[in-house]
Structure 1
């Protein structure tokens, strides 16, 4: 049940942050380069084929995921912990590599693990990035306290972010709508390969996949497609990216006027037509189209009661599509919950791993 609407101040904070970030010239808008129509047809065609074949069937046909061979270097180590950074070539299919920026084709990860505990006696959670989460530090701060529970943290830097960002992109503001689809598709393939590597090469017996906001959408997709039991931990997550951009505060930071007059589509559109087209394209990110996990008990959503980016109904729609999963509510908005409720997120991670068969 949703906690009563007593967190108006938190909702107000989301809108204040949104006003500063999205309604001013403080940062460029999302998709100021338009739809990216030269790539859109290819991505839609590939996604339609996936939907037609069925995600569950595709996952079976493409199991195991492509093998990766990360090259590691140790950043630091103590008697109790070790932090390593690794790089590997993105394992996504060749057709996607042809349209993926060169900078995004080399994946970067960091792995924080306990030193005195063999991997088969420890757990590991892969953390995926939310919108604007460049680098590793934010997610490392979330996972680091779990070391005392023998839970290792692996953080994947998203394509289009950090050192994987193409030179013309400013900050997290993706230039084209197709960049969002490419970011998601590449992240999912890399995370699937990382989970399989942790299981088969490193020997971890319990694994989790975690993410906040956009990262939670990707985490849910990855967990759905994984063929062995895995804890799935989406935090502050909508059921579909279209919700955040069309209904949440991100709609104020989207270059709707550019999308209306994008000449690559050979015609201009009204705002209503752009909204409808945008929803149709981003319906490819709808997690409810993915198969529910065979083991739903280790699936724990954490949602905020006054989230200005993710409406309540979207979280409940995702839970309804995955019967047996759990939703935990925290009092706050999207921004304040990220700041104030790390202990709740950490408890969900621990509980999800404990529920694995």
Structure 2
């Protein structure tokens, strides 16, 4: 009789999926256009401004004002889509491709519930999540809990994808940092809009994988308490691109050639070390502890081929009071099978916040 280790099967599924998606010739590799030149240097300076040693210099979130259009409504719910100008400053805006300058957002709300008696969670995109649909399906069942769902379309994704980009494969390393910094500013602006313009009683931010990293950063930097809910996410993009399966989807040779055009030739190992240094800017453990660490719930997978366990535990250690919940599975299988656990974490995280005004 052959004994099959289920955890190994989940991990194998991650590697099979990764091999199909990233090692075949179906699409180009990540960063086939190189490092991004002067844009990368600009972003390195800008992102360092978010770290704790200079966090006192942080600007408050910029209020965004989406222009809304109703997509559909029923007797109990309404879905609207909105467009707004990204609140990034002029320096960052000039580095973003023109296609990224206008943000799109979907907003699913229960009807006939006053905002002060509702919560809303902003859902951020994981790698490859170009549309609103998956995140709306995740949030939809929460309507009965009076929890609204707001879904942000990431820069470089969906209708904001640059013309020369193939699918999710960002052309330059600088694009990854641009995507992250713009997503943070847009999500903070939306949370500010929910607070100050709409008067929601509670707010939160969640995301899966890359979206979870961004959610952690937003929750860290937001000036008021929010539920912060990173799902299947590492503590840094270093883990994804230098340790996990995505290292096989990275154009290391193109990155080496780009560096060689500026300086002496480097070995591939030196190029990898350069990548580690650049992506250390995405290390969430260097960001401030959120205002309500007890409303931070990480959901991680036991056999994740993309995100090793040590990465998740580094986040929990950096933010005392936060909680880690484990689901059985890999990155792909948990993404498909554990939406119920993600929803439960959203509800529990919001329940750990005080209402801004006591609902009558």
TM-score interval (norm. to shorter): over 0.9
- Superposed CA deviations along residues 89-145 of structure 1, whole A, max 9, x for unmatched, are 000111001110000010000000001211111110000000010011111111111
Q: Which residue of 2 aligns with 1:43?
A: 43
Match of 1:21 in 2: 21
Report the 3-state secondary structure (helix = DSSP H, G, I; strand = E; otherwise coil) of the residue aligned with 1:152: strand
- Give the number of aligned pairs: 349
> C-alpha separation between the residues in 2 aligned to 1:283 and 1:324?
24
SS for the counterpart of 1:297 is: helix
**C-alpha distance in structure 2 between counterparts of 1:233 and 1:11, whole Å:** 23
* C-alpha distance in structure 1 between counterparts of 2:73 and 2:152, whole Å: 20
Instruction: Indicate whether 1:78 and 2:78 are aligned.
Output: no
Matched with 2:310 is 313
User: Which of 253, 260, 263 is the matching residue for 1:266?
Assistant: 263
Tell me the distance in 1 between the aligned counterparts of 2:118 and 2:261. 51
C-alpha distance in 2, partners of 1:50/1:324? 22
**Match in the other structure for 1:344:** 341
| Alignment-derived partner of residue 246 in structure 2 | 250
- Deviation per CA, 1:296-344: give whole Å up to 9, x if none: 1110000000000000000000000000100000000000000000000
| TM-score, normalised by the number of residues in structure 1 | 0.96
Q: CA RMSD in A?
A: 1.2
Rounded to whole Å, the distance in 2 between the matches of 1:96 and 1:264 is: 26
Task: Decide whether the 8 Å contact of 1:261 with 1:267 is kept in 2.
Answer: no
**1:122/1:204 contact within 8 Å kept:** yes
Task: Determine the C-alpha separation between the residues in 2 that align with 1:10 and 1:137.
Answer: 25
1:54 to partner: Cα distance? 2.2
**For structure 2, which runs of at least 5 residues remain unmatched after alignment?**
355-360
Q: Which of the numbers 289, 294, 297 marks the counterpart of 1:297?
A: 294
The yes-or-no answer on 1:215 pairing with 2:211 is yes
SS of match in other structure, 1:337: helix
> How far, CA to CA, are the matches of 1:36 and 1:52 in structure 2?
26
Give the 3 Å change call, closer, same or farther, for CA 94–242 of structure 1 in structure 2.
same
Partner secondary structure for residue 7 of structure 1: helix
Q: Distance in 1 between matches of 2:174 and 2:250?
A: 14
Distance 2:21 2:286 in 1: 32
Query: Quick check: 1:240 aligned with 2:236?
Result: yes
Aligned-pair CA distance for 1:227: 1.3
Could you tell me which residue of structure 2 aligns to residue 58 of structure 1? 57
Give the Cα separation in 1 of the matches to 2:272 and 2:170.
18
Alignment partner, residue 8 of structure 2: 8
Query: How do 1:282-293 residues align onto structure 2 when only pairs under 5 Å count?
Result: 282-293=279-290
